[in-house]
Amino acid sequence: MSLTRFLISLFLPTFQLQKSLRNLVQPGVVKRVKGVVRAAIVQMEYSPVSNVNGFIELINRFLMKMTDFGPDIVVFPHLMDSFFFRVFPLFLLIGTRHHVKAIKETSRTTSEICERTMAEFSKIWNCTVVFGTTQGHKVYHVGNRQSHLLETKEYKMAVVSRKTLNNSIQLDHLVSSGVRIIATPGFGVVNYSDWDERYHMWAHSQMVGFYGLCSAVSGRFLGKDLKARACVTAPIPITNSFDGYIVKNSSTTGDTVLLAELDMNKIESFVQSRKFPTFHYSKG
Partner 1 sequence: MRFLLGRQIVLKEFYYTDLAISWIEEPVAGASNYLIGNERGYMYVAANSDELHYGGDFDFLTTPFGKIAVICCTKPVHWQLIHNAKKAEVILTVVFQNASSVSDLLLSKAICWGSSREFNLPIALLVNRADTLQYQFSVPGQGKDHSGLVIDSTTTCMIDMDVSKTESGLFFSVRSFAEG
Distance of closest approach, residue 265 Cβ to partner 1, in angstroms: 17
Q: Which is nearer to partner 1, 208 or 217 (CB)?
A: 208
Measured at the alpha carbon of residue 112, what is the angle toward residues 259 and 68, in degrees to the nearest 5?
20
Distance of closest approach, residue 38 Cβ to partner 1, in angstroms: 24
Using CA atoms, how far apart are residues 107 and 110, in angstroms rounded to an integer? 5
Using CA atoms, how far apart are residues 262 and 37, in angstroms rounded to an integer? 5
SS3 210: coil
Distance of closest approach, residue 242 Cβ to partner 1, in angstroms: 5
Q: Which is nearer to partner 1, 19 or 173 (CB)?
A: 173
Q: Which is nearer to partner 1, 36 or 236 (CB)?
A: 236
Distance of closest approach, residue 177 Cβ to partner 1, in angstroms: 16
Q: Are strands 128-133 and 136-141 parallel, antiparallel or unpaired?
A: antiparallel
Q: Which is nearer to partner 1, 23 or 193 (CB)?
A: 193
Distance of closest approach, residue 258 Cβ to partner 1, in angstroms: 21
Q: Which is nearer to partner 1, 107 or 205 (CB)?
A: 205
Using CA atoms, how far apart are residues 159 and 182, in angstroms rounded to an integer? 6
Distance of closest approach, residue 262 Cβ to partner 1, in angstroms: 18
Q: Say if CB 106 and CB 5 are below 8 A apart.
A: yes
Q: Which is nearer to partner 1, 126 or 167 (CB)?
A: 167
Q: Is 81 left (phi over 0), alpha (psi -120 to 50) or beta?
A: alpha
Q: Which is nearer to partner 1, 15 or 279 (CB)?
A: 279
SS3 82: helix
Write the burial class of residue 233 (CB in 10 Å: 0-12 exposed, 13-18 middle, 19+ buried).
buried
Sheet holding 156-159, edge to edge: 149-151, 156-159, 181-184, 211-214, 231-233, 245-248
Using CA atoms, how far apart are residues 196 and 207, in angstroms rounded to an integer? 16
Q: Which is nearer to partner 1, 167 or 251 (CB)?
A: 167
Distance of closest approach, residue 47 Cβ to partner 1, in angstroms: 31
Distance of closest approach, residue 256 Cβ to partner 1, in angstroms: 24
CA 42, 45, 51, 54 torsion: positive or negative?
negative
Binding site for partner 1 (CB under 8 A): 166-169, 172, 193, 195, 199, 202-204, 206-208, 235-237, 242, 244, 274, 276-277, 279-284
Using CA atoms, how far apart are residues 217 and 133, in angstroms rounded to an integer? 12
